[in-house]
Chains A and B, each alone.
Chain A
């Protein structure tokens, strides 16, 4: 079964620590994305990547970093510079073509920083 796997589902960290969230897809999609979701809010784009070894900042990239060394994987690091890191983080992927196509989402990682 193809899909997007995010791990872990729940993550707890102390303030000042960096933490890396995993995202793997076996859909053979070119593009991958990281979104942040806060209670009662729409999704906000952190970073996205359309091809291996390349990525672009989204609307709220400050305090985050990503890498795209493999097509299947797009890990997100939440650094200690992120002022309000507690949130639900969603990874997504899509094919790239001349037409638009929908994003396919993982089931998220809930990060709590205390």
Chain B
């Protein structure tokens, strides 16, 4: 039979629409969160990060929202373009003092942009 783990959640959007990718994190002690974009055959590329003392951070065309009450993180992409098609990962860090040894990655969401 098929392994559930092989099938990523998929979000399909029309070019020009806004995209919202969600992530539930596991540890209430996590103090730093990162979103990565991974194109096929490449390494993850940093998009935006947010610390636990913030609930919103904006970048160029992207916004990250953090809801610590329900341990939820979201990535909003404005005016989605075909080049945004990729797998998006969230990551949480419960390390202290800059240690990244405790970075935990989600399984990812595949974003497909229809022209």
Give chain A's interface residues, CB within 8 Å of chain B: 4, 6, 31, 33, 38-45, 48, 50, 56, 58, 90, 92, 94-108, 110
Contacts and interface: CB of A to CB of B under 8 A. Distances in A.
Contact of A48 (B34, B46, B49, B100): B100
B23 to A, nearest CB: 11
A103 B100 contact: yes
Interface residues of B, number: 31
B95 A104 contact: no
A98 B51 CA distance: 13
Contacts of A44: 105
Given A39-B6, A41-B5, A100-B32, A108 B97 contact: no
A114 to B, nearest CB: 20
B93 interface: yes
A100 B105 contact: no
B5 A100 contact: no
A42 B98 contact: no
B46 A50 contact: no
B43 A108 contact: yes
Contact of B45 (A31, A38, A105): A105
Contact of B43 (A38, A40, A50, A107): A107
Contact of B103 (A39, A45, A96, A107): A45
A104 B46 contact: yes
Contact of A43 (B7, B89, B99): B89
A41 B107 contact: yes
A100 B93 contact: yes
A40 B8 contact: yes
B99 A103 contact: no
A90 B44 contact: yes
Interface in B78-115: 89, 93, 95, 97-101, 103-108
A43 B6 contact: no
Count chain B CB atoms within 10 A of each CB in A38, A41, A94 and give the residue with the most.
Answer: A41
